[in-house]
Structures are given as C-alpha cells and as structure tokens.
Structure 1
C-alpha cells in the first residue's frame, strides 16, 4: 500500500503519543492512517467504538488492510443500550497490558450527559492508548471539543466544561419559564485553545485533483397548509421550548413538504438532465420509499445511515432532496463521492423550498450554529418571523 503525504505526516506525529485525534476529512484515508498508528504501538488488543451502522464497513476496512492485532468492534449506541456489554468491555480491557481504544466518528460522544459518552470515557480510562477520529472536530459549536478531549485525557484542557465555556465563549443566560438557556454570542481565545490541543491533533483537509461544485435549486412548494399550521403552534411555544422540542416541531414542518409534488418534479428534472447514476439524500424513511419507487436508477440514502462509512466514488452527482441541521452530517454525506479515488469532477444539487424553515436551515449550516439559538436570535426580527 502507498500512503499519501498527509497520512505519513499524521502517523509520524501521533505514533509518538499515547493519545491523539485524527480530524481528517472524509475521503482522506483516516481509517488506514489509524491502523498504521495502532500497528506502530505495542498494543495487544484494540477496541474500536464506531457508529452501529458502520460496523460492517469498518470490519471490511480492517480485513482489507490485513489488520492482525486482536480486536473487537462495538457500536457506540449499543453501549447505552446494554449494561452487560458495557460491563463486559470494562472487564475485558483490564486483561490486556496495553489496550488501545479508538472512537470513530467521535462527535457521537460530544454530549457529556449522554450515557454512551460517560461509558466511552470510563472505558477509555482503562486504556493505555486512546485515539479519536472524525471528519471535523465540531458540528455545532466548540463545546463539542470538550468531551472529546476528556476522553483522550482531562490533562489536555485541564478545565471543567464550565471553565471551558467561560474561557472560550461569550454567552448570555436567559431564564424562561424556570429553564435556563445559554445563547452564544461569540468565541474568543481561539489561539490559546488551539495551543492546548495542537500537540495531540492532526487535522487534514482533502485535496484531490477534481473539482467540487455546489448548485442551489429553488422550487415552490405546492401545498404549505400543514407547514403553516405547525409553524403557528411552534411560535406559541417558542419561549419555553428546549432543543429537543424545537427539533420535533421543525422535523414535522419539514416532513410536511418532504414529498411535495413540486419538489418531486424538481428532482425528476435534475435526474433526467444528469442522465447518469445519481445519489439522492433525504431525511425521512417515507421520503426514501417514495424516491426509491419513483427513481429506481438512483441510489437513495438517508443522512443517518448513508452519511457514514460508504465509498461511492463511482457516482459524480448528488442531490440533497431534504436539508439537515447538522453541518458534520452534511459534510459526511458530501464526502461519500468527493474522496480519494474519485477521478471526475463532482456536483451537488441542493433543493430549497420557498418557506422560512429552509432559509433558517441554510443559515444554521453556514454559521455552524445551534438550531434553537439561531431561531431565538432571528425571532427578535419581526420581518424574519413573517418570512418563516
């Protein structure tokens, strides 16, 4: 096998350490890089913690590169669902002298209060070596970094989450109906933050000799009745709504026009124009079923499952039928075709409907902002609410 320059640089830097982060964009070959880092150590067992849906693909990658160290692959979601699995892993890892724990798609452990995050960190404490891998270190804001660094070692940042926020974030706390919400205004001390994590991080951008073109396609939703009904319900509740409740409302609003007749016509026009195999990305299971029925020659994927672990370089075009709030998820989806091994220019077509939610989601991706904070900030502007 021939390693590229970025892979060699990453291995040279991180093989000297017992903890490290591979923030390598999808398509840059981070799995092979991780394998070489692991093989350069004296580990006698490696535990790979990966998204459940990518276990099979990860297993194939290990076999492809003839990985011969004793290992086990577990789905990160399974750690929160199975007490037995968690306890078995804690016991198993203590039986080895130099166990190595690798967390792939480490943004899955960004929430410090989630059971799976707490369990991954506890397992990591028993490991001699620890490595995290992700295409980007953050998906919404820099707080995503805190738990990832805690897994590697609390000594890297040397501060609690609250201290982290006070050091690097300017925010205001708003009390509403007995609940406290934190609104991020801006970040500061970024050079200091980078100086803390830089010794343990390798960050690689994908550079290949093909171009990437992003094209927006506007369309007019045929029936917005349900959308505006849900919008009115949400606006009456926004003052005391948390992120989960907000997401539930916007999911319903988005789903109300996910298979709109005009939207499907826009997809059909694009598919016919491209005249070659195309990937359609959507958000909802029922939308996936409709698209698969109407466009049998296209590959239809959902963000949750299709955005991870697939190598689809034979495709050159991708249509985003539904939008997503999650910046990291969108980037993962794009890198299914824009990656090492792609030999043609690629094009992304993003459908945008004529409702305010679509504009808000575009802004969220552009700003990498939290959904609810962005909405509350925007809700102070009357003209934006009228558009929404």
Structure 2
C-alpha cells in the first residue's frame, strides 16, 4: 500500500535493478517501457511536513493511507512531483473508489507527473467499476472519460430499487480493448513456482447466548419489514449489509460491540494446541476478537501479539520484526494486514473468521504464499454452525464475494413478496 516517486535523474543516471528480473518482469518492462503510463526510499508518515522532507533523494515511499489522514503528508508529497517524476501506486485497488479522499488526492497530485504506473494482484474486486479510478489515475485518455458519471452513464446499469447497486455492466469488451495497450497481466501460477496450499475447515456450535442474539437480530429485521409499507424498501443493500454484518459479528462472539460467550474461542485454542509450526498467523475480522484471542493464547502459554489499527504506525514494523525473530502467533485484522505484508515466516494460517470479500480472503492467504515460502501452507478456517457462515463458505468456494451472492439470492426471493423474504431471513 505504497506510492513511490522516482525522479527522471534516476533513469538518466542509468539506474539498474540489483537483482535479476524474473521472466514475467522482463516481459512487463518490455511492454510498458515505451509508454509513459502503465500498471525505494524516504518514508512518509503522520509526522511528515513540507519542511522535513529532503529534496535531494531519488526515491520516496509514501504510505497510501496517509493521503486520507491529513493535509501535511499530501502537501509534502505534492511539492516533490513535477513533469519529470514517475509515480508508482502499489496495491492500486486502494485507489479504486473514485469518491475516496485518498483517490482524489493521489490522482490530483500525480497529474503533473509524466510517468505513472499501478501495480496490484486484484485489479477488480467488485466488477469493472473498479477500473475507472485506476485508469483515470494513469490518464483520462485511456477510457476517454473525465468524470465517473460519464463512465457510469455508458457502462453501468443501476438497480431501480436498491440505490447504488450495479446490476449490469455495459460494453465490457470496449473497456477491455481500451485498456489492453496499457496493461500487463500475469497470474501467480504463470510466473512463480510456489508450494501447495492445504485447506482445513473446523466447526463449532453457537453458544446459548449467541443463539438468542442471532435469532433476535433476524427478528428485528423482519419486524422492520412489517413497520413500513411497500414504498419503503427495507430490503435495500444497506439494510441487508447491516443484517449480515450483525449476524457474523454474533457468530464471532460480539453483540452490539461487546463480547459474549462463544465456542469459537475454545475451538481456536484446540487448533492452536495442535499446531507444530514456530510461526503462525491468525486472521480476525474484528478488533475485539484480536485482543480476546491474544489474551486467551497468552493465558494458555503461547507467545502471541496483536496487529491491528490500534498499533501506532511507527511501531508496526518493529512488532513484525519481533514476531519474525521470536515466532509465535501473529493475530491480525484483514483490514490492516492483508495487503503488502511478507509473512512467509509462517506456513500455518488460521482464519478466526473469513470476510465477505473473496479478494480480501485471497490477499490474506497470499501474505504467506508468495516468493520466499518454501513449505506447504496450511489454512485452517474456523466456522460457526449457522446460516450466515454457511453462505459465506459456499460463496468463497465458488470464488465469489459473499455479500454479492447473498444480495442476488435476496433479489430473487423478494420478488415473491415480503412473506417469502421473511422466511428467507429467518432461515439464515
């Protein structure tokens, strides 16, 4: 999740890589070199301001999250960019949202740069809509649209019932042909020889407290359906997302932001006791669970550290280095750690909970399954025996996003009326 700046002087001075390029890297460079756009270093952080940035460096690295936190880092970076600069955005899906502040800022400050490049393993996570902002960053000439609304009018069909929900993409082949000259694409299997992946699923029942909260959450949603007439669509995307998120949180032992009794933590302890790896990564969806898991593992005598948004940015690298040296369990949220990190010290990964998005799950898996990994990586997923987790499991098995799949199911059911929708919700 970095933005890199390269000055033209680097190229003029004959800069070369210090390691040999892999075959797919040579192909990518060969294809994109003739173009000024395509798809390390002074580090910028929350303390950076314009007066503290040295102006004589060839390389600069900027945490892309800092572009949305405040103005100091933004203006500090903007002053470094001119027409001779090359701007590289790694993990460019972080600028896929055209409305996001960091997208606007990164795009705005890079307009002066003559050379631009984006890198990502998951360019599309929700459909071709994700391509607009990434291509706009490179150049508005690629797609030929200067605003998202022009792009949407020509290529996106929205639901008439659910505000903001895209139901169809138009002229997809045209988009592909427009971006083809500027894109080099290769999958992992084509460019790397990596060890196998092994998947294991483990299950537990909901506790009585979870069962009660789970049924109450579904009943609350159904009661809301009855309160409003047909002009008020309570089954829209936002309401459905809130329900699904609430149900999964309960399945993870969290009700209204507070921890409740859960068998999932006991299941984790049993799984951890059977692991023989010196380094283990545990992915959790909720920060509440991170703290809970670390405390339980430490109580059981394991070395465990938490890695989530509560860890100050300046301390994160030291925490990771300590885990790599000492081993133990690194308990992290996918929101913070699933992009960019090298966690190949571990060959055992435990998913305390899987997320709704297929792309985020794959990104989390690939933190350990990448260059530098020489052992088979074992992924152990913990599941609660309930409808929402069953739907997530089925969607991920089909390499689909769980939320999109659930919305499609609901769209079909609600055509038969509120009674059928109530039945569907209560059966989750």
Task: Settle same-fold status: TM greater than 0.5.
Answer: yes
Secondary structure of the structure 2 residue equivalent to 1:341: coil
Q: Please name the residue that 2:331 is paired with.
A: 300
Indicate the structure whose relative CO is greater, using CA pairs within 8 Å and at least 6 residues apart. 1
- In the TM superposition, what are the counterparts of 1:38-53 in structure 2 within 5 Å? none
Q: Please name the residue that 2:28 is paired with.
A: 10
Q: Is the alpha carbon distance of 1:130 and 1:240 closer, same or farther for their aligned partners in structure 2, counting shifts above 3 Å?
A: farther
Secondary structure of the structure 1 residue equivalent to 2:269: helix
Secondary structure of the structure 2 residue equivalent to 1:202: coil
Structure 1 runs not aligned, ≥5 long = 22-34, 36-45, 56-67
Q: Please name the residue that 2:61 is paired with.
A: 73
Q: Which runs of 4+ in 1 moved over 6 A?
A: 46-49
Residue 273 of structure 1 and its aligned partner are, at CA, apart by 3.1
Q: Please name the residue that 2:293 is paired with.
A: 291
The answer to whether structure 1 residue 224 and structure 2 residue 220 are counterparts is no
Q: Is the alpha carbon distance of 1:266 and 1:112 closer, same or farther for their aligned partners in structure 2, counting shifts above 3 Å?
A: same
Residue 196 of structure 1 and its aligned partner are, at CA, apart by 1.5
CA contact (8 A) 2:395 2:402 kept: yes
- In the TM superposition, what are the counterparts of 1:120-199 in structure 2 within 5 Å? 120-159=106-145, 160-165=147-152, 167-169=154-156, 171-175=157-161, 180-184=163-167, 186-187=168-169, 189-199=171-181
TM-score by length of 2: 0.71
Q: Is the alpha carbon distance of 1:237 and 1:153 closer, same or farther for their aligned partners in structure 2, counting shifts above 3 Å?
A: farther
Q: Is the alpha carbon distance of 1:70 and 1:240 closer, same or farther for their aligned partners in structure 2, counting shifts above 3 Å?
A: farther
Size of the alignment, in residue pairs? 343
Residue 245 of structure 1 and its aligned partner are, at CA, apart by 5.9
Structure 2 runs not aligned, ≥5 long = 1-18, 49-55, 226-232, 254-260, 303-327, 415-419
The answer to whether structure 1 residue 205 and structure 2 residue 193 are counterparts is no
The answer to whether structure 1 residue 377 and structure 2 residue 377 are counterparts is no
Secondary structure of the structure 2 residue equivalent to 1:9: helix
CA contact (8 A) 1:364 1:374 kept: no
Residue 236 of structure 1 and its aligned partner are, at CA, apart by 4.7
Q: Is the alpha carbon distance of 1:9 and 1:163 closer, same or farther for their aligned partners in structure 2, counting shifts above 3 Å?
A: same
Q: Please name the residue that 1:281 is paired with.
A: 283
CA contact (8 A) 1:47 1:101 kept: no
Q: CA RMSD in A?
A: 3.1
Q: For 1:140 and 1:261, locate their aligned partners in 2 and report how far apart those are by CA, in whole Å.
A: 32
Greater Rg by CA: 2
CA contact (8 A) 1:183 1:373 kept: no
Q: Is the alpha carbon distance of 1:48 and 1:231 closer, same or farther for their aligned partners in structure 2, counting shifts above 3 Å?
A: farther
Q: For 1:196 and 1:118, locate their aligned partners in 2 and report how far apart those are by CA, in whole Å.
A: 22
CA contact (8 A) 2:283 2:333 kept: yes
CA contact (8 A) 1:378 1:384 kept: no
TM-score by length of 1: 0.77
Q: For 2:403 and 2:152, locate their aligned partners in 1 and report how far apart those are by CA, in whole Å.
A: 15
Q: Is the alpha carbon distance of 1:274 and 1:91 closer, same or farther for their aligned partners in structure 2, counting shifts above 3 Å?
A: closer
The answer to whether structure 1 residue 214 and structure 2 residue 214 are counterparts is no
Residue 270 of structure 1 and its aligned partner are, at CA, apart by 2.5
